[in-house]
Amino acid sequence: MKSWYLIRPGVIELRDVDIPSPSHYEILIRIKTALTCGTDLKAFKRGHPLIPMPGPFGHEFSGVVEDVGNMVSGFKKGDCIMAVHTAPCNNCDYCKRGAFNLCDNLMNEKILGAFSEYILLPEHIVRQNTFKKPDEISFQSASFLEPLSCVIHGMSGLNINPDTKVAIVGYGAIALLHLLVLKSVGAKVIVVGRDKGKLKRAIDLGADEVVSLTDRICGLNADIVFECTGNVEVWEKSTDLVRKGGVVILFGGCPKGTTARFDTYRLHYDEITLKGSFHYNPEDVKKAFNLLSKGLQVERLITDVVGLNELDKVFRLLSEGKGIKYLIET
C-alpha cells in the first residue's frame, strides 16, 4: 500500500509498505478521506515530540472496514466508520481518576498513518472510540471527529449559552472549528487576529465581530477566551480580552521549553482562570460524534480536495500560510 512518512522536518516521503493484517480484536480500515491538521504542520515544519520521525504521518481520517480480527464483534467488512487515533488504557492512575486525556499510555499507544491507503485500528481504539458512520454524515465530515473532539474537550464544564460572550484568538482551522461549535449553541463570538484579510473567513462562518490584534483589545470583556494560536506572545495578551472572573482556555500548544508571563495583579484581583486544554476523553468523542450527526457544517473549513499523491504539495502550501484544511482522498 501507499503510505506517507514524515522523515525529518520539511521532508515527507511516499512509501510502498505492506498492508497490515488485523489480529484478534483489530480492524483494518481502507481510508476514504484524511485531513491535514495544525499539529501535522508543526511536525512538518519543526518536528513534534509526539510524532516520531521517521514514521507514518497523519491522524484525522474516515474509511471503510476492509478486514476484522476473528474476535471482533460489532463491525464487519464493508462498514463505514469514523474513529480517532487514540484511546485511554483505563488502568493507569490518571484513568482511574477519570482524567482519560492525561492517560500515561495514551500517546505511546496512539496510531499514526492517516495519509495512507489503509490503517490498522488496535483493540483499545476499536472498543472505545470507533463508530459506524451514519449515512447522513459524509466521509469528509466524518474525518473531523478527532479535531472536533479536542474542541469539545476544551469547552467542557464552561456552560456556554446564548448569553455567553466568547473571544477566539486565531483564525486557523482549529479556531474556526471553535467558531462553528460556539455558534451552534448561539454564543456571541468575537474572533481576534492580526491579518484583517484572514479575519474575513470568520465573518463568513458566522462570527458576530472580528477585531485586529494590532488594535486596542483591552476592554473586550469576554466571558471566555479561547487562545488557538500556540504563540507565547499571544498567550500573554489573551488575559487582556477577558472580563473579571472570566476564563482563558489555552488551547494552542507552544513549543516545548517556552515560558509565558502574565500580569499577576490581574490574575489575582480580577480572579482570572487560566486553563490548559489537551486532547479529549471518550465522552468528548461521543459528543463530537453526536454533533456531527446533527449536521454541524464542518466541510466549510475544507480549502481543497486532492489525491494522496499530492500531499507534499499540500504541505508546501500550508507552510506558506495558504489554506485552512486540505482533504486527502484515497
Residue 149 pLDDT more than 70? yes
Residue 280 or 218, more confident: 280
196 and 48, same structural domain? no
Lookup result for grid cell 482522498: 329
- Quote the strand ranges of the chain, DSSP E: 2-8, 11-16, 27-35, 55-56, 60-68, 80-83, 118-121, 130-132, 165-169, 188-193, 209-212, 222-227, 242-250, 273-276, 302-307, 325-329
Contacts of 29 (CB under 8 A, 6+ apart): 61, 63, 64, 65, 66, 81, 83, 118, 119, 120, 121
Q: Give mean pLDDT, residues 240-255.
A: 95
Pick the closest to residue 143 from 245, 59, 212, 69 (CA basis). Answer: 59
Residue 47 or 68, more confident: 68
Residue 218 pLDDT more than 90? no
Residue 50 or 125, more confident: 125
Contacts of 306 (CB under 8 A, 6+ apart): 313, 314, 326, 327, 328, 329
pLDDT at 154: 97
Contacts of 151 (CB under 8 A, 6+ apart): 174, 177, 178, 181, 288
Q: What is the pLDDT of residues 58-112, one digit of tens each?
A: 999 999 999 999 999 999 999 999 999 999 999 999 999 999 999 999 999 999 9
81 and 39, same structural domain? yes
Residue 216 pLDDT more than 70? no
pTM: 0.95
Q: Which three cell numbers stand for residue 212?
A: 485586529
253 and 123, same structural domain? no
**C-alpha span between 265 and 231 (Å, rounded):** 22
126 and 160, same structural domain? no
Of 261, 276, 291, at which residue does a domain stop? 276
Amino acid at 8: R
Query: What total of structural domains would you count in the chain?
Result: 2
Please report which confidence band the pLDDT of residue 217 belongs to, taking 50, 70 and 90 as the band edges. low
Q: What is the pLDDT of residues 153-200, one digit of tens each?
A: 999 999 999 999 999 999 999 999 999 999 999 999 999 998 888 888
174 and 137, same structural domain? no
146 and 186, same structural domain? no
Q: Where are the alpha helices (H) located in the chain, listed in sequence order? A: 38-46, 93-96, 123-129, 139-142, 145-155, 173-184, 196-204, 232-237, 264-269, 282-293, 311-319
268 and 181, same structural domain? yes
Do strands 2-8 and 11-16 pair parallel, antiparallel, or not at all (unpaired)?
antiparallel
Average pLDDT score over the chain: 95
Q: Give mean pLDDT, residues 264-285.
A: 97
Q: What is the pLDDT of residues 188-215, one digit of tens each?
A: 999 999 888 888 899 999 999 999 876 6
Please report which confidence band the pLDDT of residue 11 belongs to, taking 50, 70 and 90 as the band edges. very high
Pick the closest to residue 284 from 154, 106, 97 (CA basis). Answer: 154
Neighbours of 232 (CB within 10 A): 15
220 and 87, same structural domain? no
Expressed as residue numbers, the domain containing 186 is: 156-276
Amino acid at 135: D
Of the ranges 48-52, 145-149, 231-235, the best mean pLDDT one: 145-149
143 and 25, same structural domain? yes
**C-alpha span between 58 and 233 (Å, rounded):** 28
pLDDT at 212: 84
79 and 8, same structural domain? yes
288 and 264, same structural domain? no
